[in-house]
Amino acid sequence: MTKTLEELRSRRWFAAGDMRAFAHRQRIQQMGLRRQDVLDRPIVAIVNTWSDLSPCHAHLRERAESVKRGVLIAGGMPFELPAMSLGEVMVKPTTMLYRNFLAMEVEELLRSLPIDGVVLLAGCDKTTPGTVMGAISAGLPTIFCSAGPMLNDRYLQHGEPARTVGAGTHTRMFWDEYQAGRVAEDEWVGLEAKMTRSPGTCNTMGTASTMTAIVEALGLALPGSTAIPAMDSAHARMAADCGERIVRMIWDDLTPARILTRGSFLNAAAVQMAMGGSTNAAVHLIAMARRAGVALALDDLDAVGACVPVLANLFPSGDRLMEDFHYAGGLPALLNRIRDHLSLDELTVTGRTLRENITGRESLDDEVIRPLDRPISTSGALAVLKGNLAPDGAVMKVSAASPRFLRHRGRALVFDSPAEMNTCCADPELDCDEDTILVLRNAGPVGAPGMPEWGGLPIPKTLLARGVRDMVRISDARMSGTHYGSCILHVSPESAVGGPLALVRTGDEIALDVDARTLELLVDDAELARRRAAWQAPARRHLRGYTRLYVDHVTQANDGCDFDFLQGTEPTPEPPIF
């Protein structure tokens, strides 16, 4: 499928003999470039999500230069295009509100400008699915260059063995201990200054590393690229390789449509499970699949989760970090270990199949990438629960939950907002015990809006003082992939649109059975009908701008939280050039 120079998309802008093409070439030369730079070479966009307020991407300006070097070596012409940078920690109320914004921006950047192929520079949680969704819809040859995880830290105390420490999971663990009075103030301040030692994404198996691994499993990233630490010199070399490879992909017309199939998405789901990946992937995978015109649903993910064990010994399911995973052989080694669960003949950005990419890639550390007969968890990374409390499904990260809560019945304690929840949980007289089930509603795509990571509900302070570190928690929110605990998330439909979660009252009993995949509110149908008749939808507070567009058009969590008008593969015509 080799393209000729005359078939390049960018030539619509530059190659004609009319006044408009003259003006385009004129403006290129205004920037000090030569006429032949855009007439004789394919044009590569480097979509860069760098920002001064995105610490995970602080190094991406330098990586863009590495990509440019690779593009130029291969005979292409690179142009860097800034895109919205969604630094997970800083953006409020949640980066999830803006994932679709970034996807739209990437799609429109690629459609409206003279671009033949694209390198995506991203990595922090929503930047990966956001950039990939936009590139899928734009339909140009695409390669993903991951920001890479940050470096490990070590926690040392006199007389105790050193502990490997990272971001996210350990932040929550140390916070609980600080709240319980087991970490001193000066130690807490010291931890703040040292736990995140370098630029790069969270080094636990949170949403960032889950999603970059998924994109590699889909075939959109170079083999082994997504686990390279951000500050490793190999990372800069990988970025140059991405630049060199995209030029060949343009000539070969190797677009996402040729790579993304149902088989490749099921491969990605298998990787999510084997990695003990973030529950957020359940939303993003479905959204990306539907952009590609691939049928994928929560039941598909549940089926994969039931047969693929957790093999990656990474926090929060295990006790290692992404730097260790890289040294152990990275994703190719893990893929080779679960090859019997994969569709191996799927095409990838290398121009080779997944089978060819992973052949001979063995694990170098069986404590980090476990063998099949010694998994981290046999219960799977993800379970999809359904019942009268979640008719369209809810998800639970089983590998990070307490086994005793996988079958549980308890009394509900209901909160209607995070403010109410935080106030109540700080009350030392709060009426609750370890068997109580905490419920947070109005935290979904429409209700929050944006479905923030509020699903890791705090353990009430009175229980922390008694040594309790986990309990069942239910919400229509998401949870950070770096967090842990017996949390049931993404309850669909959400409470703000009339889902059954809106009908729960404090004191109601709820029954959970993970093996049976059920989540039931133990209230009779007649009483639920009475409550529904009295229910009123909460008032919509956000009435302008992008947030209004979001609330009006976002789908529910089980459908990927994409905009209803962006799903599917119906093409948008190329822009006219007059």
Q: What are the pLDDT digits (tens) for 223-257?
A: 999 999 999 999 999 999 999 999 999 999 999 99
Between residues 192 and 76, the one the model is more confident about: 76
479-503 pLDDT, tens digit per residue, is: 988 888 999 999 999 999 999 999 9
pLDDT exceeds 70 at position 381: yes
Q: Measured between alpha carbons, how far is 298 from 12 in angstroms, rounded to an integer?
A: 42
Q: Measured between alpha carbons, how far is 295 from 289 in angstroms, rounded to an integer?
A: 7
Q: Measured between alpha carbons, how far is 152 from 323 in angstroms, rounded to an integer?
A: 7
Q: Are 391 and 501 a contacting pair, CB within 8 Å?
A: no
Classify each residue of 32-63 as buried b or exposed e, where b means 16 or more C-beta atoms within 10 Å of its C-beta: eeeeebbbebbbbbbbbbbbeebbbbbbbeeb
Start and end residues for every CATH 3.50.30.80 domain found in the chain = 383-538
389-438 pLDDT, tens digit per residue, is: 999 999 999 988 999 999 999 999 999 999 999 999 999 999 999 999 99
Among 154-168, 273-287, 444-458, where is mean pLDDT lowest? 154-168
Q: Which H/E stretch holds residue 392?
A: strand 390-396
Q: Measured between alpha carbons, how far is 221 from 259 in angstroms, rounded to an integer?
A: 11
Among 84-93, 108-117, 503-512, 536-545, where is mean pLDDT lowest? 536-545
pLDDT exceeds 70 at position 3: yes
Cα dihedral across residues 523, 526, 530, 533: positive or negative = positive
Q: Which residues pair with 519 in a beta bridge?
A: 512
Q: Measured between alpha carbons, how far is 324 from 369 in angstroms, rounded to an integer?
A: 9
- Give the pLDDT of residue 484: 85
Mean pLDDT of 85-113: 96
pLDDT exceeds 80 at position 157: no
Nearest to 168 by CA among 326, 400, 329, 331: 400
- Give the pLDDT of residue 332: 98
pLDDT interval class at 163 (50, 70, 90): confident
Paired sense of beta strands 407-415 and 509-513, if any = antiparallel
- The tokens 């040292």 sit on which residue? 194
- Give the pLDDT of residue 158: 64
Q: Measured between alpha carbons, how far is 337 from 133 in angstroms, rounded to an integer?
A: 28
Which of the following CATH numbers is that of domain 41-151+201-358: 3.40.50.10680, 3.40.1190.20, 3.40.50.2300, 3.40.50.2000? 3.40.50.2300
- Give the pLDDT of residue 1: 67
- Give the pLDDT of residue 148: 98
- Give the pLDDT of residue 199: 96
- Give the pLDDT of residue 548: 94
Look up residue 201 and give its DSSP letter. Answer: B
> Is domain 383-538 given the CATH code 3.30.70.360 in the classification?
no
Q: Measured between alpha carbons, how far is 489 from 394 in angstroms, rounded to an integer?
A: 6
Between residues 171 and 463, the one the model is more confident about: 463
- Give the pLDDT of residue 429: 94
Angstrom CA distances, 283 to 280, 289, 319, 563, stand at: 6, 10, 26, 13
Nearest to 238 by CA among 119, 344, 333: 119
Start and end residues for every CATH 3.40.50.2300 domain found in the chain = 41-151+201-358
